[in-house]
């Protein structure tokens, strides 16, 4: 049952070219998982930390080989 759901979710994320990536919150230091749309080469947005709810400034670049680089910074940095 659970394995079936997992495969289903994996298929959806592959279809949408989404990649999940673990980042460290610059405020509380906890690791949270974000989903990155790999079809966009360079993107930056604010995502609230799932633990402390403070806004994390995410700067993401996707390489031509699908390599994802994520910078997680304070909002005002
Ligand atoms: Zn946090």
Which pLDDT value is given to residue 13? Answer: 62
User: If we measure between CA atoms, which residue out of 57, 16, 14, 13 comes closest to residue 40?
Assistant: 16
- Within the chain, residue ranges assigned H as helices are 2-15
7-10 — which CB contacts under 8 Å span 24+ positions? none
Looking at per-residue confidence, does 15 or 38 come out higher? 38
2-25: pLDDT as tens digits = 667 666 666 666 667 888 899 999
Helix (H, G, I), strand (E, B) or coil at 3: helix
CB 36 within 8 A of CB 62: yes
In sequence order, the β-bridge partners of residue 37 are 18
Please give the distance, rounded to the nearest whole angstrom, from the Cα atom of residue 66 to the centre of ligand 1: 27
pLDDT mean over 49-57: 96
Please give the distance, rounded to the nearest whole angstrom, from the Cα atom of residue 34 to the centre of ligand 1: 13
- How is the chain split into domains, by residue range? 2-74
Please give the distance, rounded to the nearest whole angstrom, from the Cα atom of residue 13 to the centre of ligand 1: 25
Share of the chain above pLDDT 70, in %: 81
Q: Would the pLDDT of 52 be above 60?
A: yes
């Amino acid at each position: 049952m659970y394995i079936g759901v997992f495969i289903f979710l994996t298929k959806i994320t592959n279809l949408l070219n989404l990649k999940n990536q673990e980042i460290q919150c610059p405020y509380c230091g906890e690791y949270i998982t974000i989903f990155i749309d790999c079809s966009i080469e360079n993107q930056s947005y604010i995502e609230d930390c799932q633990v402390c709810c403070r806004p994390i400034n995410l700067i993401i670049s996707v390489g031509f080989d699908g390599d994802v680089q994520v910078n997680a910074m304070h909002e005002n940095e």
